[in-house]
Amino acid sequence: MRSRGVEERAEDILALWGARKDITLEELRAGLIEIGLQVSVAGLHRLFVRRGMTRKKRLLTQSSRTAPTS
């Protein structure tokens, strides 16, 4: 599906993503195939980039800090 087609179905795509925000792009793509949407992982990535949304999974660990040096 081209970018225009992805944009036309963005509501459906974002609804599926909203149900499971920890989903990977590949898992999202598989879920979309189940409802009849053929979208590439790259197409999904571009959709999120155009909306300023990050899809990078973050580890649930505390960030490391460095102590100030003298």
pLDDT tens sequence across 19-56: 987 889 999 999 999 988 899 999 999 998 988 887 55
Instruction: For residue 17, tell me if it sits in a domain.
Output: yes
Distance CA 27, CA 44 (A): 11
pLDDT at position 9 is 86
Instruction: For residue 37, tell me if it sits in a domain.
Output: yes
Instruction: For residue 65, tell me if it sits in a domain.
Output: no
pLDDT at position 33 is 92
Instruction: For residue 60, tell me if it sits in a domain.
Output: no
Q: What is the pLDDT of residues 5-14, one digit of tens each?
A: 788 888 988 9
Domain count, the chain: 1
3-state SS of 2-54? CHHHHHHCHHHHHHHHHHCCCCCHHHHHHHHHHCCCCCCHHHHHHHHHHCCCC
pLDDT at position 34 is 92
DSSP class of residue 58 equals -
* Identity of the residue numbered 52: G
Residue span of the structural domain in which 25 resides: 3-50
